[in-house]
C-alpha cells in the first residue's frame, strides 16, 4: 500500500518536467516538419500551399548547401583535433608537481566562461585584426606582412576561436580523469621499469579512453551548432566560405523569410545531430548501468 502511494507520488513529481519537455520537443519539431513540406514565405504569408519535397530539392540543389555541410564538418573535426590533442597534453602537464597549480588551472579554464560573442569580438579585433591585432604586431616585429585572417582564412580563424573556447573543457575533463588514475598503479609500473612513453601508452591512454570519448561526443553536439562566433566575425563570408548549416538555416529563415526552405534545412540538421546523438547516448547509457 505504501509503495503504491509512493509510486503515485513519484509519478506526480515527475509529471511537470516530463510533460513540459515533451510539449517543448514535440510541438516545434512537428511544426518544422510540417513547414518543410509547405511553400511558406513570411513576405507573402497569405499564400501558403503544399510543396511536397520541393523545399528539400531546393535546399539540395543550392550550392551553398554542400558547402555549408562541408564547413560544419570541417569546424567540428578541426576543433576536435586541436582540443583533444591539446587537452591531453595540457592535462598531462597540469598533473605534474608544480608551484601555483591552482592558479594555473584557473587561468587555463577561464576561456570556457567567456560568452561566445565576447570571445569572437576579442579575437576579431584585438588578436587577429590585420592592422591593429596582436598577430599583426608580431608579424611586423619580424618584418613580415600581417595576415588578413578573416579575409583569407575565414574558416580556419573561426576554428581557432572556437577551439580556444573548448580547449579548457577538454583539459578540465581529461585532468579530472587523470587524477582519478590510481597512484599505486603508476608507481608499480614505474618500479617495473616502464618508461614515460610505455606508461603513457599502456596505462594512461586506456584509462583516458572513456573520457576522451565523452569529450568528443559532447563537444560534437555543441560544435554542430556553432553560431554566434560566425555571426560576429565573418557573417558567413566571404561568399559562403564560412557558412555552416545552422548559419545557412538562419540566413534562409530570418534574412530570406523562407520558412519552408529553412524548415527543410532544420530537418536535415536534426538528422545530422541524431547520428551523433545515437553514439553519445550509448556511451553515457553504459555508464548509468555501473
Q: Give me the least distance between CB of 164 and other proteins, in Å please.
A: 7
Of the candidates 53, 209, 221, 255, which one interacts with other proteins according to CB under 8 A?
221
Interface residue with other proteins, options 56, 149, 164, 240 (CB under 8 A)? 164
Q: How far is the CB of 33 from other proteins (least distance, A)?
A: 10
Q: Which is nearest to 47 in space by CA: 251, 254, 260?
A: 260
- Site residues for other proteins, window 256-285 (CB under 8 A)? 259, 262-263, 265-267, 269-270, 272-274, 276-277, 280-281, 283-285
Reported for 233-239, long-range contacts at CB under 8 A and 24+ positions apart, including other chains, are 233/120, 233/121, 233/123, 233/124, 233/150, 233/154, 233/157, 233/158, 233/161, 234/150, 234/154, 234/157, 234/158, 237/154, 238/151, 238/154
By the rule CB under 8 A, 216 interacts with other proteins: no
Looking only at residues 92 through 151 of this chain, which bind other proteins when binding is defined by CB under 8 A? Answer: 93-94, 96-101, 103-127, 132, 134, 137-138
Window 49-78: residues binding other proteins (CB under 8 A): none
CA dihedral 167, 169, 171, 172 (to 10 degrees): 160
CB of 153 to other proteins, least distance (A): 18
Instruction: Decide if residue 231 touches other proteins (CB under 8 A).
Output: yes
* Cβ atoms of residues 286 and 52 within 8 Å: no
Span 169-208, contacts to other proteins by CB under 8 A? 169, 172-173, 176-177, 180
Torsion of CA 69, 71, 77, 80, to 10 degrees: -120
Shortest Å, Cβ 137 to other proteins: 4
Is 209 one of the binding residues for other proteins (CB under 8 A)? no
Interface with other proteins (CB under 8 A), residue from 75, 158, 223, 253: 253
Instruction: Decide: is 162 part of the binding site for other proteins (CB under 8 A).
Output: no
Residue 182 CB, shortest distance to other proteins, in Å, is 15
Nearer to other proteins, 70 or 225 (CB): 225
* Least distance (Å) between residue 267 CB and other proteins: 7
Amino acid at each position: 500500500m505504501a509503495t503504491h502511494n509512493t509510486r503515485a507520488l513519484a509519478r506526480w513529481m515527475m509529471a511537470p518536467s516530463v510533460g513540459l519537455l515533451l510539449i517543448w520537443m514535440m510541438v516545434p519539431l512537428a511544426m518544422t516538419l510540417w513547414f518543410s513540406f509547405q511553400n511558406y514565405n513570411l513576405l507573402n504569408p497569405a499564400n501558403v500551399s503544399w510543396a511536397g519535397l520541393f523545399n528539400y530539392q531546393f535546399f539540395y540543389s543550392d550550392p551553398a548547401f554542400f558547402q555549408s555541410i562541408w564547413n560544419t564538418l570541417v569546424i567540428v573535426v578541426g576543433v576536435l583535433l586541436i582540443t583533444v590533442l591539446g587537452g591531453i597534453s595540457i592535462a598531462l602537464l597540469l598533473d605534474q608537481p608544480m608551484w601555483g597549480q591552482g592558479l594555473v588551472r584557473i587561468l587555463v579554464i577561464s576561456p570556457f566562461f567567456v560568452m561566445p560573442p565576447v570571445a569572437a569580438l576579442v579575437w576579431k579585433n584585438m588578436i587577429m585584426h590585420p592592422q591593429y591585432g596582436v598577430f599583426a604586431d608580431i608579424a611586423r616585429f619580424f618584418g613580415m606582412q600581417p595576415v588578413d585572417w578573416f579575409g583569407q582564412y575565414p574558416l580556419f580563424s573561426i576554428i581557432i576561436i572556437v577551439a580556444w573556447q573548448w580547449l579548457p573543457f577538454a583539459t578540465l575533463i581529461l585532468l579530472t580523469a587523470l587524477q582519478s588514475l590510481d597512484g599505486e598503479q603508476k608507481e608499480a609500473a614505474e618500479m617495473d621499469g616502464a618508461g614515460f612513453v610505455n606508461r603513457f601508452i599502456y596505462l594512461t591512454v586506456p584509462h583516458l579512453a572513456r573520457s576522451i570519448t565523452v569529450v568528443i561526443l559532447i563537444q560534437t553536439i555543441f560544435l554542430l551548432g556553432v553560431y554566434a562566433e560566425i555571426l560576429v566575425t565573418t557573417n558567413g563570408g566571404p561568399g559562403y566560405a564560412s557558412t555552416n548549416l545552422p548559419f545557412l538555416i538562419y540566413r534562409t529563415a530570418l534574412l530570406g523569410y523562407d520558412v519552408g526552405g529553412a524548415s527543410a534545412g532544420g530537418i536535415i540538421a536534426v538528422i545530422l545531430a541524431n547520428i551523433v546523438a545515437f553514439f553519445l547516448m550509448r556511451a553515457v547509457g553504459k555508464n548509468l548501468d555501473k
